[in-house]
C-alpha cells in the first residue's frame, strides 16, 4: 500500500522536519521539502493501511514542527 502525506510545518522548519522523518520512518520511500500550499511531501509504502495510520499518527503528527497533514492513499499501483 502506498500513500502521499502532504505536510504543513511551522515557518522555516520544513527541511528539518523532512530530515527527522527520514531518519525515523523506514516506510518512507521519498521525502522532500517543497514550495506551495504544503511545506513537505512524503511517500510511504507499507503492507497495510494500519501501518500507514501508525506512522502518520504516532510519528509525523507528533513532530513538534508539524502543524497539519493531509494523507492521500493510492487506489492501485500503476
Q: Per-residue pLDDT tens for 25-50?
A: 999 999 999 999 999 999 999 999 99
Q: Is residue 64 part of a domain?
A: yes
Specify the pLDDT at position 68.
97
Confidence category of residue 78, pLDDT binned at 50, 70, 90: low
Q: Is residue 78, in this structure, part of any structural domain at all?
A: no
In a domain, 55, yes or no: yes
Number of domains within the chain: 1
State the residue range of the domain holding 40: 2-72
CATH of the domain at 66: 3.30.70.920
Long-range contacts at 63-68 (CB < 8 A, ≥ 24 apart)? 63/17, 63/20, 63/21, 65/9, 65/10, 65/13, 65/16, 65/17, 66/7, 66/8, 66/9, 66/17, 67/8, 67/9, 67/10, 68/7, 68/8
Q: Please give the pLDDT value at position 76.
A: 81
Flag whether 77 is in a domain. no
Q: What mean pLDDT, rounded, does the chain reach?
A: 94
Amino acid at each position: 500500500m502506498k500513500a502521499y502525506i502532504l505536510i504543513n510545518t511551522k515557518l522555516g522548519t520544513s527541511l528539518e522536519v523532512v530530515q527527522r522523518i527520514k531518519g525515523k520512518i523506514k516506510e518512507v520511500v521519498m521525502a522532500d521539502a517543497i514550495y506551495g500550499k504544503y511545506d513537505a511531501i512524503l511517500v510511504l509504502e507499507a503492507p497495510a493501511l494500519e501501518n500507514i495510520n501508525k506512522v502518520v499518527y504516532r510519528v509525523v503528527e507528533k513532530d513538534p514542527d508539524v502543524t497539519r497533514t493531509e494523507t492521500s492513499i493510492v487506489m492501485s499501483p500503476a
